[in-house]
Amino acid sequence: MTKGTQYVARQADAQGFIAYPDDEHQIWSELYARQAVNLPGRACQQYLDGLDALDLPKDRIPQLPELDKVLMAATGWKTAAVPALISFGRFFELLASKQFPVATFIRSREEFDYLQEPDIFHEIFGHCPLLTNPSFANFSAMYGKLGLAASKEERVYLARLYWFTVEFGLLQHKDDELRIYGGGILSSPGETMYALGDVPQRKPFELMDVLRTPYRIDIMQPIYYVIEHIDFLDEIARMDIMQSITRARQLGLFAPLFEPKAKAV
């Protein structure tokens, strides 16, 4: 859902199988190996349980039908292969129907460490494990339904909710330590270490604050919002999110905690 991309998604055959070249399987393998070391003690337990349930291959890019068997049994979700770019309307439509969009390309070695587009490693490794969790899965479907009915202006505010939860959310662990549940962090070795470090701000989740917080997609996040536990996503889903968006539009955005992109070094 970016404005431009160098990537082209690979097409599946009639059985849903995609023939990735060996060098792309190697990139998956290296990304997986590097991040697997970082996650114990940092990723939330529900994510780690989902990772075990999916039993992702470490030496090759997974085939989507393999994931669908596990997701369907756990929460009734499945994946949907998509091009590198899809519209917001299509994105919301898929989520509302319990289909998680997966762009069927993997990053180049030149963008091994950071990629603005969501590639297959980000989508599968970052997000799919938590789709085995009912609270996360229900929140995602609810979000899709809200987005389908929202105006273009309202979708901008909805994007902030998604950003600070599904993509870059943190939660409180039972031993009072922080854990990661946001897929944007979980699929990024650099941000996994950074998000739990001393540099960024971390605040308790307040819906109105989240809706009023600007963000940039091309930097480490200066602020993260922390939920009490993964089941708190059920509580957010029961909130009057659209009414809160109306109020947030009236109040306006907080001052950004980052330089404008044109001035950023």
**Catalytically annotated residues:** 122, 127, 167, 187
Task: Give the pair of three-digit tokens for residue 244.
Answer: 């809160």
d(CA 157, CA 208): 10
Please, is 218 exposed, middle or buried when counting C-beta atoms within 10 Å of its C-beta (0-12, 13-18, 19+)? exposed
β-bridge mates for residue 79, sequence order? 100
Residues 6+ apart with CB under 8 A from 144: 91, 92, 93, 94, 95, 96, 97
β-bridge mates for residue 179, sequence order? 171
- Helix H or strand E segment including 81: strand 78-82
Residues 6+ apart with CB under 8 A from 84: 5, 7, 8, 9, 103, 105, 117
d(CA 250, CA 234): 26
d(CA 206, CA 26): 41
Residue 252 amino acid letter: G
d(CA 169, CA 205): 9
